[in-house]
Structure 1
Amino acid sequence: MSNQHAESGTKGYIIGFIASLILTAIPFYYAGTQSLSAHTTYAILFGCAIVQVIVHFVYFLHMELKTDEGRWNFISLIFAAIVVLIVIGGSLWIMWNLNINMMM
Structure 2
Amino acid sequence: MENKQSTFPTNHVVGFFLSIAMTVLAAIIALRTNLSGNVIMWIIGTLAIFQAGVQLFMFMHINEGKDGKTNYINIIYSVFMALIIVFGSIWVLTTGHAAH
| TMscore range, shorter length | 0.7 to 0.9
Q: Distance in 1 between matches of 2:72 and 2:39?
A: 31
Kindly, what percent of the aligned residue pairs are identical?
Answer: 22
Q: Distance in 1 between matches of 2:28 and 2:13?
A: 22
Query: Take 1:87 and 1:43, find their aligned partners in 2: how far apart are those partners?
Result: 21
Return the alpha-carbon distance in structure 2 between the equivalents of residues 96 and 43 of structure 1: 22
- Tell me the number of residue pairs that the alignment of Structure 1 and Structure 2 aligns: 97
**Aligned alpha-carbon RMSD (Å):** 2.5
Distance 1:44 1:83, change over 3 A: closer
User: Is 1:98 equivalent to 2:93 in the alignment?
Assistant: no
Question: Would you identify which runs of 4 or more consecutive aligned residues in structure 1 move more than 3 Å?
Answer: none
Choose between structure 1 and 2: higher helix proportion: 1
* TM superposition score normalised by structure 2: 0.77
Partner of residue 85, structure 1: 83
| TM-score for the superposition, normalised by structure 1 | 0.75
Do residues 61 (structure 1) and 60 (structure 2) align? yes
CA distance in 2, matches of 1:87, 1:45: 22
Please say if 1:45 is aligned against 2:67: no
Amino acid at match of 2:79: A
5+ unaligned residues in a row in structure 1: which ranges? none
Structure 2 residues not aligned, in runs of 5+? none
